Amino acid sequence: MSPVDLAALFDGPTPALAEGLLGCRLTVAAPDGAVTVRLTETEAYGNAGEDPGAHSFRGRTERNAALFGPVCHTYVYLNYGIHRCLNLVGHPRGQAGGVLLRAGEVLAGREAAVARRGRDTGARLLSGPGNLGQGLGITLGMGHLPVEIVPAPPTGPVPAPPGVPARFLLAPPAAHDDGARRPAVVRGPRVGVSGEGGSVRFPWRFHLAGDPSVSAYRRGRNVPD
């Protein structure tokens, strides 16, 4: 996948973006250090009024405004009052939606990620959206920021511009992790989403088969069979 192909995914349906982000390498450069991960698990959330599991379902609010804004930007929300979850905004023109990043494999900056998490849990260090957000140093102030699409992750320091809480750089999968050699993709219902939004009608959770960083599936409440 080229950077042009990756950028084009942000203008299409969120499930296609969620699947296309698997294997991509995301660098978050915060003031206390930069961490690069290989994305291994994602979830798509769709347009207003159509996806009952999406934050955009009931329309635009101050909290979810990023989902209605320009694509290739960040949307950050607080879950259970403690977890800062990172989403990348993508949707067809005139719609709303984005992709929740659920897990990743650390490629660079492991010391910073471990320090933020408080302990090293091996391959599961950034397993689950809360752990991923914590390890990447995500704060609520990092919402609405642009995501720069680059050919490859940076090899040196990535300072954030003055007054900007972080830089987000997204690179396509490495050559050895793309095409025919890419691990199989598993698709199924979303994790912990209540009601119809967590049902098989929305098989919008994607992850790389067999990857140890992928989080465990947990069925939401009142999900219809």
Q: Tell me, what CATH number does 141's domain have?
A: 3.10.300.10
Task: Indicate the number of domains in the chain.
Answer: 1
Evaluate whether residue 163 is within a structural domain.
yes
Q: Note whether residue 219 is domain-resident.
A: no
Question: Does 216 map to a domain?
Answer: no
- Is position 217 within any domain? no
Task: Show contacts of 147-156: CB within 8 Å, 24+ apart.
Answer: 147/72, 147/73, 147/74, 147/88, 149/3, 149/6, 149/7, 149/72, 150/3, 151/3, 152/25, 153/25, 153/27, 153/36, 153/107, 153/108, 154/27, 154/29, 154/34, 154/36
Q: Does residue 187 fall inside a structural domain?
A: yes
Range of the domain at 142: 3-208
Q: Which pTM was predicted?
A: 0.93
How do residues 20-62 score in pLDDT, each as one tens digit? 999 999 999 998 899 999 999 999 999 877 888 888 887 788 8
109-129 pLDDT tens trace = 999 999 999 999 999 999 999
218 occurs within a structural domain: no
